[in-house]
Amino acid sequence: MSGSDRSPLIPVAGLVDLLSAGTPLTLLDARFNLQGPDAHQEYLHAHLPGAVWVDVEQALCGPRGERGRGGRHPLPDSDTAVRVLRACGVRDDRPVVVYDGGSQLGAARVWWLLEDLGHRDVRVLDGGLPAWLAAGLPIMSGETRAEPGDLTGRRGRLPVVDADGVVSALAAGHAVWDVRAADRFRGEYETIDPVAGHIPGASSKPAALVFTAEGTLRNPGELAGLFADVSPGDVLSCGSGLTAMLQLLALRHAGRADGVAVYAGSWSDWISDPSRPVATGPQD
């Protein structure tokens, strides 16, 4: 089964089976805290045995543009992404499992980049570190150093758009799905970006809806119902691109990701140009 045909998720029991069987794989810790404790320090305190830290916040971002152009977490170019992930031990011929602290933001970013580079076997640990701990499985502390990998590839396999692409998608009748919390969409609560509101014409579909109460993703049937109105040509947007990638991960799990693009810079890029319009309140 190819990576595009199967779920991009692996449950804790599935990862335990792979490790128990001695399957060679690269295990990446992609914890990322938009606001809060230093994620690398959290990794050093406790992580899955053999997991290598990957710096989503800095190393896997491109340079920030003038006045915030490109958003808070610009995509890295191919050479940067390959260099960083090789240093983490990623190989072309070896499966990759990536996890984070449960938000799935960092894990989804790494999953998206590896898929975009053409890696054929990358999965996200469903539930992340909390699910591993809930199962009573062992952890370790300190830094794990990887033997450098041989990852190759060029970015460009997944649909991605910029602000002009968002405008074009709306003009063509496609939907732009804003996956931030509904109060941020309406412009009622904004503590991250300097301008509140949303892209005119966008619709709200908060990413929080993809999770169960236990912190795992909902099953494919439930997600397919949630995403019944998402179609090829639509665009996912959030604050800086990471939550949109999480939503795409959930779409892939539901079998409905084909042709759906990510607005890489998302809201933080949109507002970098003061001439772009801003809407507030409920969706049109």
The rounded distance, in Å, linking the Cα atoms of 1 and 80 is 29
Judged by DSSP in three states, 169 sits in: helix
The rounded distance, in Å, linking the Cα atoms of 196 and 61 is 24
Q: What is the CA radius of gyration of the chain?
A: 18
Question: Going by DSSP bridges, is the β-strand pair 52-53/26-29 parallel, antiparallel, or unpaired?
Answer: parallel
Q: Per the residue annotation, which of 85, 236, 238, 246 is the catalytic one?
A: 238
Angle at 56 between CA 43 and CA 194, to 5 degrees: 115
Does residue 88 have an active-site annotation? no
Q: In the chain, count of helices (H) and strands (E)? A: 10, 10
Q: What is the DSSP string of 7-46?
A: -SEE-HHHHHHHHHTT---EEEE----SSSS-HHHHHHHS
The rounded distance, in Å, linking the Cα atoms of 267 and 178 is 9
Alpha-carbon torsion (21, 218, 186, 164), positive or negative: positive
Which residues belong to the active site?
238
